[in-house]
Amino acid sequence: MTASKNQNLNKSPVFLTGVAGFIGFHTTRRLLEQGRYVIGVDSLSPYYDVSLKESRLKVLKESFPDTFQFFKASIEDRPEMERIWRASPEPIQQVIHLAAQAGVRYSLENPYEYVTTNVTGHLVLLELARHHGPLKNFVYASSSSVYGGNTKLPFSESDRTDSPLALYAATKKCDELMTEAYAHLFRIPAIGLRFFTAYGPWGRPDQALFIFTKKILAGETISVFNNGHMKRDFTYIDDIVAGILGALENPIKDTGEGSPHKIYNLGNSSLEQLMDYIQLIEDNLGKKAKIQYLPMQPGDVPAALSDIMEARRDLGFNPKTSVKEGVKNFIEWYKGYYK
Ligand SMILES: NC(=O)c1ccc[n+]([C@@H]2O[C@H](COP(=O)([O-])OP(=O)(O)OC[C@H]3O[C@@H](n4cnc5c(N)ncnc54)[C@H](O)[C@@H]3O)[C@@H](O)[C@H]2O)c1
């Protein structure tokens, strides 16, 4: 669908960071399919295969030449971000901020990248929202990792989140706190989303599903940590995107009391054993994995499960995709893409 074909096109663009990333790509594609304009920013960081990011962008540019605009920029670059924001033909009223230095384990190796992108970069977005508002909604990515080593399952938004196990988690918690202050001071309606292990087609090469698939196909041994005693709340990408758009459409009303800012879990709310997940990959590939069992990695958590009662109630969030279906879709995509 292009601008000229859609009579009811909402011309106010969505300003979306991390557009070449896994979740940013899928979210943008859905918005463009709905007839929205998207101004997408991404630095194409070399943290993982840049050609995969370029391929995602190619899909967006070719399918939506009239309604998608891409800018290669780093979110911590204030003048450049200001320039991109001001160049919008219509006032920007909605932000979806997904750009980040992701990954828990890499934050032990390259901590400065996390603070530059996740803290300074996040502040730049908040400053844009402050000075160029009023915004209707500022939606941003947090992470289930803020729950640290909490042992009470499922994790609820009201649980304590002051014991992060890695710097990545600390920067995401920092984003939540900075947003709370800005929402309070400058009345910016904001929603933070704590994603629980998103997976699916066009996924991230540093995530377990991708690594396992690649290694099993190559006949290489996979490393399974905590001797396989890991449990996760794997959330299919289409459900994550539905949650992000649910957040975009349901901004927090500013009643004048407190801050117009709220945080929601977005998970599948279903606890999966890592070994069952591996079995599903094996079944779909028709090939057994060679497994090396290892102890727990520093910074990692043994189990994560979301309580999504609040997102169901306020955002209409209703995850539908089983891991059986989701893993099958991923492997179909992987085999087609890397044929
Ligand atoms: N995928 C998950 O399971 C998961 C779980 C919890 C939270 N999150 C969060 O969701 C968001 C999206 O994650 P994703 O899985 O799509 O990751 P991703 O790495 O695929 O996407 C992030 C994008 O941000 C870009 N980026 C990095 N540094 C940048 C900078 N300084 N300036 C501009 N762009 C920059 C990268 O090039 C990348 O394309 C991130 O904020 C991440 O922390 C993801």
168 is catalytic: yes
Check: pTM over 0.85? Answer yes or no.
Answer: yes
- Assess if residue 127 is contained within a domain: yes
- CA angle at residue 201 from 109 to 225, to 5 degrees? 40
**Is ligand 1 within 6 A of the CB of residue 117?**
yes
Q: How remote is the CA of residue 28 from the centroid of ligand 1, in Å?
A: 14
φ, ψ (nearest 5 deg) of residue 144: -65, -15
Q: Which two tokens stand for residue 315?
A: 């955002």
- Assess if residue 90 is contained within a domain: yes
Cβ atoms 320, 239 nearer than 8 A: yes
- Assess if residue 136 is contained within a domain: yes
**Is ligand 1 within 6 A of the CB of residue 76?**
yes
Report d(CA 243, CA 313) in Å as an integer: 12
Domain containing residue 154: 3-203+234-270+303-321
- Assess if residue 87 is contained within a domain: yes
Residue 10's pLDDT is what? 65
**Is ligand 1 within 6 A of the CB of residue 195?**
yes
Report d(CA 56, CA 147) in Å as an integer: 31
Domain harbouring 22, CATH code: 3.40.50.720
Quote the number of domains for the chain.
Answer: 1
- Assess if residue 57 is contained within a domain: yes
- Helix (H/G/I), strand (E/B), else coil: 68: strand
Q: Which two tokens stand for residue 273?
A: 């054993």
Residue 22's pLDDT is what? 98
Catalytic residue, from 37, 47, 114, 168: name it. 168
Q: With b meaning 16 or more CB within 10 Å and e meaning fewer, what string describes 240-255?
A: bbbbbbbbbebbbeee
Mean pLDDT by 10-residue block, N- to C-terminus, for the chain (339 residues)? 39 95 98 97 98 98 97 98 96 97 91 98 98 96 96 97 95 98 98 98 97 98 94 97 98 96 98 95 97 91 95 98 98 96
Residue 9's pLDDT is what? 41
Report d(CA 325, CA 321) in Å as an integer: 6
Residue 15's pLDDT is what? 98
Report d(CA 269, CA 322) in Å as an integer: 11
Using the Cα atoms of residue 240, residue 137, residue 263 and residue 77 in order, give the sign of their dihedral.
positive
Q: How remote is the CA of residue 98 from the centroid of ligand 1, in Å?
A: 6
- Assess if residue 218 is contained within a domain: no
Cβ atoms 141, 101 nearer than 8 A: no
- Assess if residue 277 is contained within a domain: no
Q: How remote is the CA of residue 305 from the centroid of ligand 1, in Å?
A: 21
- Assess if residue 68 is contained within a domain: yes
